[in-house]
Amino acid sequence: MASAAEQLARNINFSTFGKAKELQARIWFTLGALIVYRLGTHIPIPGVDPVQYAKAFGSVSQGILGMWNQFSGGAVRNMAIFALNVMPYISASIIVQIMTTAIPSLERLKKEGESGRKQLNQYTRYLTVVLAVAQAFGIAVALNAVNPQSGLSMAVTPGLYFMTSTVVTLVGGTVFLMWLGEQITARGIGNGISLIIFSGIVAQLPSYVVRSLTQAREGSLSIGVVAAITALTVALVVFIVFIERSQRRLLIQYPKRQQGNRLVGGESSFLPLKVNSAGVIPPIFASSLLLLPNTVAGLSATSGDTTSWWAQALSFVQAYLGHGSPVFIVLYATLIIFFTFFYTSIVFNPEETAENLRKYGGFIPGYRPGKRTAEHLDYVLTRLTVIGSLYIAAVCVVPEILRGEFAGEYYIGGTSILIVVSVTMDTVAQIQSHLIGHQYEGMIKKSRLGGRKK
């Protein structure tokens, strides 16, 4: 029998949405914030020579900068004020999560509830600024450097002033996006940081579609290939939705207890364990590691150094670690599986979960509270993670295989599809929650009015 929440979810329609004024305001705020973000991706950093930068970016577009450009919605290609995007914030968040498992003082903060979470968020902001300064300084140095082949720099007027203004602009852009993402989370709908990345990826989809259709019209790409890529993309989306909604629900039983002359408690609930607990972090980590040699090799080529053993070694690595190559695909899948297990072990602690269940009187039927419960949770989670890691690897590797087969004509990466679908599902779920809450409020108001009439 369906629950009341499920029945309300089925009754949601456009009239319900029209009455939810608060939800409409949240959606409009989110859209306005994302428009501001998209405008910022087209405002270039002052003092950058667009012609020289376009030449340099073309040589390294297959490396990490290409991946960042995809997540930033073209901001890296434009060298815009939001070129760093929220990547420093994401890196800082992951570092703080890892540190909470290694540093006892941070682990105690994590267990302190809301106050501890706020303190950890503050540490994440500080670390974001530090990482943004380091990355911005590296970009400023690269832009300021003179190409020995052409004798020109990507900066119109190279010097200390240009480097300082570039660092300040890029760091300010990242801090502003971090603040904007927090505002979307608090006053809008969905997770703000995720929606910023989502909008950057989605903003480039029309150009991909137009590019594919243009190539099909010119004959460089057959209609059959375009149809096959479209069908495969749809199949990947359906597969991602199915797996992301899949979960293993463990029965949690609470014992009955005497309270006066009554027996209370005895309820049961479920502990949901997702098949993919690591999210999109593993493919991002794997891509960053594998694309680093390509980026370094591309920068070495632009510097004019092609005779040294270092440059030749990088060229060799670039040839065998390019997108779609067999070595790249094998290493990519292996790293994704490794990072899935690694990150899952960070975000879910079986011992801590078992201790929390014991503290509140809950237990898994057939397993003693404490160590045996933790062992069972670890057993179940390990097997779920095996499935989840293979699923993420399949979603990310299939587009890479197609990129190799069709000589790079498949532009949409598996990581991008995974991010878009996951963020869409999360945002739709939050919209449904707001609508259900609005319906509950309406039912309560009607019941109160009915009681007054009597």
Task: Kindly state whether residue 2 falls inside one of the protein's structural domains.
Answer: no
Tell me what the mean pLDDT of segment 184-200 comes to: 89
Q: Where a domain ends, among 199, 215, 231?
A: 215
Asked whether the predicted pLDDT for residue 278 surpasses 60, the reply is yes
Task: Give the number of other Cβ atoms within 10 Å of residue 115's Cβ.
Answer: 9
- CATH number of residue 394's parent domain: 1.10.3370.10
Q: Are residues 121 and 252 in the same domain?
A: no
By C-alpha distance, which of 21, 17, 19, 24 is closest to 446? 19
Asked whether the predicted pLDDT for residue 324 surpasses 80, the reply is no
pTM value?
A: 0.81
Q: Are residues 228 and 208 in the same domain?
A: no
Q: Are residues 174 and 245 in the same domain?
A: no
Task: Kindly state whether residue 13 falls inside one of the protein's structural domains.
Answer: no
Q: Are residues 66 and 92 in the same domain?
A: yes
Task: Provide the domain count of the chain.
Answer: 2
Structure tokens at 65: 């900068």
Task: Kindly state whether residue 34 falls inside one of the protein's structural domains.
Answer: yes
d(CA 141, CA 159): 10
Q: Are residues 279 and 359 in the same domain?
A: yes
- Note the pLDDT tens digit of each residue in 23-72: 888 899 999 999 999 999 999 999 888 888 888 777 666 666 777 788 88
Please state whether beta strands 247-253 and 268-274 pair in parallel, antiparallel, or not at all (unpaired): antiparallel
Structure tokens at 199: 């909008």
Query: Which amino acid, one-letter code, is at 11?
Result: N
d(CA 6, CA 332): 40
- Note the pLDDT tens digit of each residue in 9-26: 455 556 666 777 888 888
Higher pLDDT, 37 or 321: 37
Q: Are residues 152 and 38 in the same domain?
A: yes
Q: Are residues 232 and 374 in the same domain?
A: yes
Alpha helix segments (H runs only) across 281-370: 281-302, 309-320, 326-347, 350-359
Q: Where a domain ends, among 170, 185, 215?
A: 215
Asked whether the predicted pLDDT for residue 454 surpasses 70, the reply is no
Please work out, in degrees rounded to the nearest 5, the angle formed at the alpha carbon of residue 101 by the alpha carbons of 99 and 102: 65
Over the chain, what is the mean pLDDT? 80
Task: Kindly state whether residue 14 falls inside one of the protein's structural domains.
Answer: no
Asked whether the predicted pLDDT for residue 132 surpasses 80, the reply is yes
Q: Are residues 226 and 357 in the same domain?
A: yes
Task: Kindly state whether residue 204 falls inside one of the protein's structural domains.
Answer: yes
d(CA 234, CA 273): 26
Q: Are residues 207 and 234 in the same domain?
A: no
Q: Are residues 250 and 149 in the same domain?
A: no
Q: In this predicted structure, what is the pLDDT of residue 1?
A: 39
Q: Are residues 244 and 202 in the same domain?
A: no
Task: Kindly state whether residue 338 falls inside one of the protein's structural domains.
Answer: yes
Task: Kindly state whether residue 17 falls inside one of the protein's structural domains.
Answer: no
Query: Which amino acid, one-letter code, is at 36?
Result: V
Q: Where a domain ends, among 215, 237, 255?
A: 215
Cα-based distances in Å from 254 to 139, 251, 355, 357, 416: 56, 10, 14, 9, 42
Q: In this predicted structure, what is the pLDDT of residue 450?
A: 56
- Note the pLDDT tens digit of each residue in 285-305: 888 777 776 666 655 555 555
Task: Give the number of other Cβ atoms within 10 Å of residue 21's Cβ.
Answer: 9
Structure tokens at 168: 């300040």
Lowest mean pLDDT among 66-75, 181-190, 214-223, 436-445: 436-445
Q: How far is CA 138 from the centre of its chain?
A: 24
Which domain does 78 fall in, by range? 22-215
Q: Are residues 226 and 171 in the same domain?
A: no
Task: Kindly state whether residue 429 falls inside one of the protein's structural domains.
Answer: no
Asked whether the predicted pLDDT for residue 133 surpasses 90, the reply is yes
